[in-house]
């Protein structure tokens, strides 16, 4: 077997999530993850500081894509329209690999309180990135936060639908969820 294979980070994520689902998060070690991926512990640590970081894989990229999509929206775009631009930009970065990971990720998170907290922090980071991007466009703080939270929820719902269905793109599902949530928010009176 060659010493180096491409996609080490993806292989580590896949192995970790599969082992978390099979053995449980607490009963899975870094050494087991590395071995399952056909890599060494030192390779694991080049990509992640510890096994908790597996869930944060891609979080910075996702937040950056969401913010970039908002920043690129037309100057006269409403906050929700700008968020739609962020969702479209972030969705374009998702691949079939992300879709395949969804059931493993869901199982691992549902089975472990620490992972649930880590997932919640990921959502907070996404919302902060979107709210900051909206604020940079001159959107008042309260409106920026509400639009950002709608965006996070739309992304979650869209991702769940995209993962569960064989048809459609993440972009289509996330934008449909954003439209549904925006319509629901206007009927809250």
Residue 121 confidence (pLDDT): 86
Q: Inform me whether the pLDDT recorded for 185 exceeds 50.
A: yes
Both 80 and 95 in one domain: the answer is yes
pLDDT digits (tens, 9 = 90+) for 13-24: 889 988 988 888
Q: From CA 76, how far away is CA 1, in angstroms rounded?
A: 56
Both 168 and 85 in one domain: the answer is yes
Mean pLDDT value across residues 153-182 = 92
Both 166 and 87 in one domain: the answer is yes
- pLDDT interval class at 4 (50, 70, 90): low
- pLDDT interval class at 106 (50, 70, 90): confident
Q: Inform me whether the pLDDT recorded for 49 exceeds 50.
A: yes
Residue 167 confidence (pLDDT): 80
Count CA atoms within 13 Å of residue 21 on its CB side.
13
Q: Inform me whether the pLDDT recorded for 177 exceeds 70.
A: yes
Which domain CATH number covers 42?
1.10.10.60
Task: Please state, as a whole number, how many other Cβ atoms lie within 10 Å of the Cβ of residue 5.
Answer: 11
Residue 2 forms part of a structural domain: no
State which H helix or E strand residue 101 sits in: helix 96-110
Both 112 and 166 in one domain: the answer is yes
Map tokens 């690129």 to a residue: 72
Map tokens 């080049």 to a residue: 46
pTM: 0.82
Map tokens 């639009």 to a residue: 147
Distance of CA 26 to the CA centre of its chain: 22
Counting beta carbons within 10 angstroms of the beta carbon of residue 169, is it exposed (0 to 12), middle (13 to 18) or buried (19 or more)?
A: middle
> Which of 66-70, 117-121, 174-178 shows the lowest mean pLDDT across its residues?
117-121
**CB-based contact 165:99 (threshold 8 Å):** no
Residue 115 confidence (pLDDT): 82
Q: From CA 3, how far away is CA 89, in angstroms rounded?
A: 35
**CB-based contact 39:107 (threshold 8 Å):** no
Query: How many domains are contained in the chain?
Result: 2
What single DSSP character describes residue 53? G
Both 46 and 133 in one domain: the answer is no
Task: Please state, as a whole number, how many other Cβ atoms lie within 10 Å of the Cβ of residue 2.
Answer: 5
Q: From CA 90, how far away is CA 61, in angstroms rounded?
A: 9
Residue 1 forms part of a structural domain: no
């Amino acid at each position: 077997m060659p010493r180096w294979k491409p996609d080490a980070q993806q292989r580590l994520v896949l192995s970790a999530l599969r082992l978390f689902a099979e053995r449980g998060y607490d009963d899975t070690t870094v050494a087991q993850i590395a071995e399952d991926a056909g890599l060494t512990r030192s390779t694991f640590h080049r990509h992640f500081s510890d096994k908790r970081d597996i869930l944060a894989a891609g979080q910075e990229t996702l937040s950056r894509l969401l913010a970039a999509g908002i920043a690129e929206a037309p100057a006269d775009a409403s906050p929700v329209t700008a968020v739609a631009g962020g969702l479209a930009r972030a969705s374009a970065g998702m691949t079939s690999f992300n879709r395949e990971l969804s059931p493993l990720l869901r199982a691992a998170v549902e089975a472990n309180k620490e992972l649930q907290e880590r997932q919640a922090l990921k959502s907070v980071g996404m919302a902060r990135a979107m709210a900051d991007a909206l604020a940079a466009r001159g959107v008042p703080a309260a409106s920026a936060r509400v639009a950002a939270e709608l965006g996070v929820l739309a992304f979650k719902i869209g991702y769940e639908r995209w993962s569960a269905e064989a048809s459609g793109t993440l972009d289509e599902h996330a934008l449909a969820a954003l439209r549904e949530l925006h319509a629901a928010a206007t009927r809250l009176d």
